[in-house]
Structure 1
């Protein structure tokens, strides 16, 4: 199974990028400044204009479809500049040279936006129609910095939850757990009733997936105010809620709830064994849906796969914003006009085709969710609309290479308290580097 673009947000949230990012760019580069947005329309004639777009090497098909349709409609040309993994750090390295694209598909979290010095280097899109049309609270959470909106978000947030095999749980007379205590109960029952199936699978070999369950378990505390406390330096990562989530992960390992090859397991094997019914549950993000649609199809997914919100005490779903399309200031008025025309085109009638190609819920009002969206994925999206409680993960700074810390926890070389201390040390360093108030 292929690695999807959408897995990047969770990995990116934990990446600590240290190379001269506070200023984010050569002050003489491009056309940065405070000039207003140009006038533009989605169907204007743009023959002879070429727009450079920065993107990852695993950009999803929906974006490519939009680029092609935009070229056909307006006569403009899209020149893609592709960055290899690690996408974010490679893009930011080039950004610091002063080079600017006309558009970029980049992370929408505040911790990344601040590295771009958005007030100087990006156009504020707050007054655009598509911002008001955003669903899932994205107008307040995605590409927002200092009260301004700097991006068009076309993908729904990545929702973290427990994907479970309906047939495996039903065969043992079990229902999906909604909290940590229930997870322990289901694990113990499965080991007793169906020892040939791993209750949980995590990919310690790939590392990045091991962050997801802690994100889920601390969602209750973050929603309760811990996240705001961290962002304002009124709380610390050594808070009991964080330490307890790490202790809970370690206990699940000690109790034999995970796959036997936890230390070397891979994302690809996680998805393969879960789809085959050899794993009962996986903590994952909604990005896995596209892989499952390709490997087993929607009909099979609806029959065998379910999704459940889960946190320490309540069925609260943690979620994170994904990529947005941002419009840097280049100083070339004609290209800036064309770039805004693309944003209007992408959020207009062309957006339904993007949604259909992506097989996702629309992030803008006025569009239809395709029938190919699996029921489990739909349940995760419903968590963002009041069907289940939810909590955004909106951290204003970085907390270090969390996958590396989790690897040490799994290997027994770091305790939960030491991992929490590492998170705090990285957080303080990052917050000071970017000038976060209160640090």
Structure 2
């Protein structure tokens, strides 16, 4: 799944997927190449679609950029777009409707491997392999986002979500620190901040909302995943009880015991995490790039650039985990007009109109040939740099279950790191078996 504050709070599954950089040691997932196997209905960004209604399935949290594209497409082509919004939990609600055999003309849905497989893409989605916009996708999303069996079934317009340590520049500088790039530095920074700033919490996590507690372990085990553990998990050559995973969980537990987190760790919320961080009462928060718009809204870009920094971090290296986001997918409906309109929308969305999407979302472009808006904050630009440099995708072929629940149990002391890892493994085995994955 796409791990964001918008979806993780309501869907307790932590399967992440992302496009891999060639230099980073690619996960074991077939990449897209060649051209589409079958001829597609006629389509173009400027096609006359008067009288055609395009039904789109989407979540209740799609970005404003999509809505801007829908409006512009209606004006340019004469088509009418009917947006069908699914409430949270978005993914399961959409898949329930999908299981009835009902199909939209277009979907804004998860590009992660495990979700894509549930759609049976070879049978139910139009193969977009070889379409010009696929080659334009940056961050290698054309190799892993919405890819199954070597074929590409989606167009990704959003940049991947990046995980890292957001920090207060003033607190870090006052204490003579550098932003931590590994776990030992994080522990040392915690001790220094506690000593020199009695009223400041070194870290804040939101055990009350639960979903945020997955981020730091996810960051910590990235080094091991990059070193080969991810491929071994995906091919059933390793288990989630691997020592590197257990240690990542134990490291989180160490930070609790050392008093590095907020005193209300068990009950804290994401909103409180954000507020306390903005006000300087918290020095550091492990979070995804999705937190940036909230910080901008509260602080403004100028103040955010002055006070907030970002650093990639894992157990022993400055490596950033990242995950893919939604993609646009075109179901097979046997309705030539509908399929043609949906494909025309992809042409339109990836053409000159895409700059509007980027500007509306205040994001870097996920397609080549477009410009990053000038008002993107420096910390978010650092996220994008990590994508092209130290970043490593976490891409798993199955689900490892309700990690949020397991983390809550570890935080309240009712579960050990070893127990959590064992629960992850049991869920992984069940999911792989249900998906009939080879080798399991």
- SS of corresponding position for 2:294: helix
- Deviation string, structure 1 residues 114-144 (Cα, Å, up to 9, x no partner): 0000000001111111110111111112111
Aligned equivalents of 1:121 and 1:434: distance in 2? Answer: 16
Deviation at 1:391, TM superposition (A): 1.1
- For residue 403 of structure 2, what is the aligned residue in structure 1? 402
- For residue 326 of structure 1, what is the aligned residue in structure 2? 329
What are the residue-to-residue correspondences of 1:366-381 with 2, within 5 Å?
Answer: 366-381=369-384
Deviation at 1:13, TM superposition (A): 8.3
Deviation at 1:294, TM superposition (A): 1.1
What are the residue-to-residue correspondences of 1:175-324 with 2, within 5 Å?
Answer: 175-324=178-327
Aligned equivalents of 1:157 and 1:74: distance in 2? Answer: 30
Q: 1:368 to 1:13 in 2, by over 3 A?
A: farther
- For residue 147 of structure 2, what is the aligned residue in structure 1? 144
- SS of corresponding position for 1:51: strand
1:15 aligns with 2:18: no
Aligned equivalents of 2:148 and 2:308: distance in 1? Answer: 37
State the superposition RMSD in angstroms: 1.5
Gaps of 5+ in 1: 18-33
When the two structures are aligned, how many residues end up with a matched partner? 418
Deviation at 1:35, TM superposition (A): 5.6
Task: Pick the aligned partner of 1:95 from 50, 74, 98.
Answer: 98
Aligned equivalents of 2:303 and 2:151: distance in 1? Answer: 43
Deviation at 1:235, TM superposition (A): 0.5
Query: Retained in 2: the 8 A contact 1:10–1:320?
Result: no
Aligned equivalents of 2:113 and 2:9: distance in 1? Answer: 15
List, as ranges, runs of 4+ consecutive aligned residues in structure 1 with deviation greater than 6 Å: none
- For residue 422 of structure 2, what is the aligned residue in structure 1? 421
- For residue 60 of structure 1, what is the aligned residue in structure 2? 63
Deviation at 1:8, TM superposition (A): 4.0
Query: Retained in 2: the 8 A contact 1:38–1:333?
Result: yes
- For residue 355 of structure 2, what is the aligned residue in structure 1? 352
- For residue 26 of structure 2, what is the aligned residue in structure 1? none
- SS of corresponding position for 1:7: coil
Query: Retained in 2: the 8 A contact 1:5–1:60?
Result: no
Instruction: State the TM-score, normalizing by the size of structure 1.
Output: 0.93
Gaps of 5+ in 2: 16-36
Aligned equivalents of 2:226 and 2:434: distance in 1? Answer: 26
- For residue 436 of structure 1, what is the aligned residue in structure 2? 437
Aligned equivalents of 2:382 and 2:134: distance in 1? Answer: 25
- Deviation string, structure 1 residues 194-236 (Cα, Å, up to 9, x no partner): 0100000000000000000011000000011111111110000
- Deviation string, structure 1 residues 57-92 (Cα, Å, up to 9, x no partner): 122110000000000000000001111111111111
Query: Retained in 2: the 8 A contact 1:14–1:398?
Result: no
